[in-house]
Structure 1
Amino acid sequence: MTTIVNYRAKEERDDFEVIQSKITANALFNFMREYSYLEKAILNMAICPRYYPEDISYLNLKYNSKDLTEWYIPMTCFCDIPLHQISYHAEGNSILLNDKGYGKFSIAFHKEFGIRKGIQPIHYLNTSSAQVEELTAALNILINKDSDYSEDSDILMNFIFEYIRMIKPYTGKMKRRDRDNNVIEIKKNFQDEHEWRYIPKLNPRELPLMLIEEEEIRAEEINKIYTDSILQTRDGVLKFDVEDIRYIFVDTLQNRNRLIQFIRGKRKGRRLSSQEKDILISKIMVYDELKEDW
């Protein structure tokens, strides 16, 4: 099932024009919960996607005669929420002890960079709509079909499987870890996240484009073997340059100083010139200070 989709490389386009938004941010923010993730991204000047679980119970799918309620998609998530509205996304809901948000550490990229790299705003679905009903019918046929496909049906199937990696219900459930690191489910209005996704260009001969089989999901949950393998693929990671970055967020002044020292002393990973290091440092902002003026 996970190797059906044909791999077709997508080239970056140089002939597009990005029109500046008047409502959403003109940056794509990738938030992180831990400082170490930020250092790792800057060390390699790249972000490595990971396989994330998606609750799909709203689609009412059957696979091998069993209810299919979850699949894992390799991705990196971004949002284009304006700065003055970003606190809920970063910190979560303080009333709900289990909603910790996505973290105060972030790299924000120019939206033009994201569009050039194929990062895509996702499609939020009303689960009561006719579109969801028809999508359910089409998917139940495709994921359980054993016969050979014609070239035309291959094209249609590729489109559908690309599409379903870019959808989410308007409201629904998601897995999170609570303050004791236990996996829990919380309810969310997903459209509030303004989510964009980077889906890596994986060749199915290297890694699955989605995890659906129980054995694959179990292996990923226990050992992260598929996520760890993305680094070994040819085009899996999202590479960036200094000029692609608009902001870097850290939570406190202490971690700002720590990150400055890390950048200045950077010897491993992707090499940067002294000028590039200075430019990178100039982009660092302290979340807790900015929040006072929002």
Structure 2
Amino acid sequence: MKEEKELVQGKSLYPEILFHFSGKEALLAILESTFRVSYAREKIIGKEKTREIGVPMISFCDLRLSEVSTHMCKYGNYGIGLTKEWANRNGLNPVLYISKHSPFTDGLITGLDKVHTHIRNHAMHGVSDTDAINTAYLNIYNVYRYIKNYEAPLHKKGYKKIDKYRFADEREWRYVPPLENAELAPFVPIARIKTSSQKEELNRSISHVNLHFEPEDIRYLIVENDNEISELIEHLESVKGRFSPQVLNRLKSRILTLEQIESDT
């Protein structure tokens, strides 16, 4: 019998941590309570077709510590890193990156739009077993909530437009509430989330929809500079219901600054 060779798995390109980046006040709010789901405008671009919808989500990046500074400048100079074990327990999933130059993308948009048409038609015409049919179609249409262009224009308020931003470099994971969550629409037409005021109003209506974590799930906290470390520690001490003395002591050693990351990596 031929002896089987042993496969040796090298060091993974992906860490065991997911990072969420934000502004300062948002990070303090996350630590005081938890993550809040909000609708994000998502645009999927193909060669001939484009689709825009609003998706309820919380985004994370599957990045090594040495890579985070490149992305923090786009999403906020503050961050929290949580374990992938926590992510898996809560149903987070990596996004599917697709090329706008591939016929696959236009075909996907066409197919998903036809599925959505079937959903509407069944609801309008009272088809028997409508709930079961719509659930099956929604599970297919749900793909829209997990896809992103590999490369596309990036518009950020206050920054010059980047025509060819490689979103795949972020290695995004998303928490998207399950379809059966009756507290919010699984997606909304882009017309309902076009403006900042529309987006704020929509997000206020779902401010009670959360993604929970325990203090033990935290691996890193990132602030902008050394002067803010003591402020963050004071904030953690002020929410003692969430952070026991033992956990607080552990987290103090895991606070990093953006300045430190940029200089040491």
Alignment map for 1:102-181 (pairs within 5 Å): 102-145=75-118, 146-148=120-122, 153-178=133-158
Aligned to 1:11: none
Of 198, 201, 206, the match for 2:175: 198
Q: 2:56 corresponds to which letter in structure 1? A: P
Instruction: Give the distance between the partners of 2:135 and 2:171, measured in 1 at CA.
Output: 29
Q: Deviations over 1:245-294 (max 9, x none)?
A: 11001111111111111112336xx5433223223323211221122110
Q: CA RMSD in A?
A: 2.7
On the 8 A contact 1:59/1:136 being kept in 2, the answer is no
Q: 2:108 corresponds to which letter in structure 1? A: L
Instruction: Give the distance between the partners of 1:251 and 1:55, measured in 2 at CA.
Output: 30
Unaligned 5+ segments in structure 1 are 1-18, 62-67, 92-100
Q: How many pairs are equivalent?
A: 250
Of 144, 166, 176, the match for 1:189: 166
On the 8 A contact 2:54/2:193 being kept in 1, the answer is yes
Q: Which has the higher helix share?
A: 2
Of 27, 37, 47, the match for 2:26: 37
Distance change in 2, residues 1:186/1:203 (3 Å): farther
Alignment map for 1:1-294 (pairs within 5 Å): 22-32=12-22, 34-44=23-33, 46-58=34-46, 69-91=51-73, 101-145=74-118, 146-148=120-122, 153-178=133-158, 187-201=164-178, 205-212=182-189, 214=191, 216-218=192-194, 221-222=197-198, 224-232=200-208, 236-266=209-239, 270-294=241-265
Q: Deviations over 1:19-49 (max 9, x none)?
A: 99611121000011x21111101111x1112
- TM-score, L = length of structure 2: 0.83
Distance change in 2, residues 1:157/1:109 (3 Å): same
- SS across alignment from 1:176: coil
- SS across alignment from 1:285: strand
- SS across alignment from 1:144: helix
Please state how far the C-alpha of 1:90 moved relative to its aligned partner: 1.5
On the 8 A contact 1:48/1:237 being kept in 2, the answer is yes
- SS across alignment from 1:165: helix
- TM-score, L = length of structure 1: 0.75
Greater radius of gyration (CA): 2
Please state how far the C-alpha of 1:230 moved relative to its aligned partner: 2.1
On the 8 A contact 1:125/1:168 being kept in 2, the answer is yes
Distance change in 2, residues 1:256/1:186 (3 Å): farther
Instruction: Give the distance between the partners of 1:154 and 1:59, measured in 2 at CA.
Output: 29
Q: Deviations over 1:58-111 (max 9, x none)?
A: 3755xxxxxx642111111111111222221112xxxxxxxxx12221000011
On the 8 A contact 1:38/1:106 being kept in 2, the answer is yes
Q: Deviations over 1:206-235 (max 9, x none)?
A: 322112052x22476446122122232xxx
Percent identity (aligned): 26
Distance change in 2, residues 1:75/1:266 (3 Å): same
Instruction: Give the distance between the partners of 2:145 and 2:109, measured in 1 at CA.
Output: 14
